[in-house]
Amino acid sequence: MIVLGIETSCDETAAAIVTDAREIRADVVLSQLDDHTPYGGVVPEIAARAHLEHLDGLIRRAMADSGLGFADIDAVAATGGPGLIGGVIVGVMTAKAIAAARGLPFVAVNHLEGHALTARLTNDVPFPYLLLLVSGGHCQLLVVEGVGRYRRLGTTIDDAVGEAFDKTAKLLGLGYPGGPLLEKAAALATNPGRFDLPRPMVGRPGCDFSFSGLKTAVRRHVEELGTPLSGEDQADLAAAFQTTVAEVMADRCARAMRRFKEMHPQGGALVVAGGVAANKTLRARLQTLADREGMPFVAPPLRLCTDNAAMIAWAGIERLRLGQTDPLDFAPRPRWPLDPTAKPAIGKAGVGSGVKA
């Protein structure tokens, strides 16, 4: 089975061709970074227009890279949500048009399921597994029991972790997008232990997250130090923030691991996914935790952690294998939780199913 995947839910336009033998035949991603940088964040209208402008060309390039023609494609999968609705519409309409013109099945993929199943594309991880999904719009711990079968153990009560990276980077004067810039700055720290930041939720029952207190603590330090910060202050604060986030994650994951083992005594892996999974300090901390708990740890390659279309094509393949397709009147979904039974976290109703995924 060979599937064309399309991703347009945020600020990356992407197309990929993946086979059910877990082979990525093509994978092209166009970042809209330059379009949004002047505004310090993603502007939905600009994103939608940029997707519209570039998607056709990207699909053509993916087809060329794969050396395949449309006659070789078995199905078309596109992100059907959650995300910025204008962009999702562009991807879904394009996929439907190709499916209709070629008489192919269409699959509307939940973007979060794309992230969640990436470890099966890259590492053939068996169900069940414990997933830490950390991106610009989400911060969740989920038990992945099968395709479309998710049980949420925890979520954030305020900011998503990627959002916290982005906002903190802005406070430090590092620019946008914050995550990678903050990681780079932290690597230059000469005194990474200089600032002691609070560790929200650590030691508390449950598996929920909170990051707004941490961000406020960073802001106080910045105000005390005075702006613009020196390179040294930027680096030391970035390092403190990054280490603290990794510690918070490890604490929450340790609790989720205990819950997971009760639910599935036969065990399973700890998998990390989403853009923040690109962070090397976080990956190293999770590896240490998994080693201690005797759980295998799987982190997809960096390129497949951030938004891409290979994960959408793969999630499409997983759904197609179960005989699941979507009708051509599928309506894009700005909100689409993986576990619809999960209650909103206390503090901010509905968080975790917002626009950025």
Give the residue numbers of the binding site. 111, 115, 133-137, 166, 179, 183, 279, 307
Q: Which residues pair with 7 in a beta bridge?
A: 14
Out of Zn ion, ligand KG4, none, which partner does residue 13 contact, by CB within 5 to 8 A per kind?
A: none
- 135 near Zn ion, judged by CB under 5 A: yes
Q: How far apart are CA 245 and CA 247, in angstroms?
A: 5
Which two tokens mark 150?
């998710």
From candidates 10, 76, 109, 125, binder to ligand KG4 by CB under 6 A: 10
From candidates 131, 278, 313, 338, binder to ligand KG4 by CB under 6 A: 278
Out of ligand KG4, Zn ion, none, which partner does residue 178 contact, by CB within 5 to 8 A per kind?
A: ligand KG4
Q: Looking at the chain, how many residues does it have?
A: 357
Q: How many residues bind ligand KG4 (CB under 6 A)?
A: 21
3-state secondary structure of 76: strand
How many other CB atoms are found less than 10 A from the CB of residue 287? 14
Q: Give the binding range for Zn ion (CB under 5 A) out of 90-98, 173-181, 230-238, 302-310.
A: 302-310
Q: Using CA atoms of 10, 59, 332, 106 in order, give the dihedral in degrees to the nearest 10.
A: -150
Q: Nearest-5° angle of CA 27, CA 276, CA 273? A: 60
- 307 near Zn ion, judged by CB under 5 A: yes
Nearest 5°: phi and psi at 293?
-90, 0
Out of ligand KG4, Zn ion, none, which partner does residue 82 contact, by CB within 5 to 8 A per kind?
A: none
Q: Give the binding range for ligand KG4 (CB under 6 A) out of 21-29, 273-281, 290-298, 312-320.
A: 273-281
Which lies closer to ligand KG4 via its Cβ, residue 150 or residue 325? 150
Compute the least distance from the CB of residue 323 to ligand KG4, in Å: 28
The Cβ-side half-sphere exposure at 181, using a 13 Å CA radius, reads 17
Which lies closer to ligand KG4 via its Cβ, residue 91 or residue 178? 178
Using CB under 6 A as the binding rule, the residues of this chain from 165 to 194 that contact ligand KG4 are 165-166, 177-180, 183
Lookup result for tokens 């040294």: 232
Per-residue binding string, ligand KG4, 332-351, x by CB under 6 A, is: --------------------
CB 26 within 8 A of CB 16: yes
Burial of 172 (0-12, 13-18, 19+ CB in 10 A): buried
